[in-house]
Amino acid sequence: MAAGRTDRYDPDVADHQNLADPAYEPSDEELARLMRTSFAGLRRAREESLREMRERIVALQAVARARFEARGQAPRGR
């Protein structure tokens, strides 16, 4: 969705066409506009998802290293 929009669908397409109606054929321009509005936030969402995943990986690596170091300092024989 485009920034600042509160509605879910492109009003130019959603208000007067039923894309589920097999008799309706949207124009190339309508399809292009629908695609742009539908996927507008996808790049930003993917980048945010990857950033969050990298942060979780770093945190889990720190926990794993701490556990490994703690095991190395435990008395041998166990």
Q: What are the tens digits of pLDDT across the range 49-65?
A: 999 999 999 999 999 99
Does the residue 16 lie in any domain? yes
- CA–CA separation, 7 and 59 (whole Å): 37
Q: Which residue has the higher pLDDT, 18 or 75?
A: 18
Does the residue 45 lie in any domain? no
Same domain, 5 and 35: yes
Same domain, 3 and 33: yes
What pLDDT is stored for residue 5 in this prediction?
47
Does the residue 36 lie in any domain? yes
Total number of domains constituting the chain: 2
Q: How confident is the prediction for the chain on average, in pLDDT? A: 81
- CA–CA separation, 60 and 36 (whole Å): 37
pTM check: above 0.75 = no
Expressed as residue numbers, the domain containing 64 is 50-78
The mean pLDDT value for 57-78 works out to: 85
Same domain, 31 and 59: no
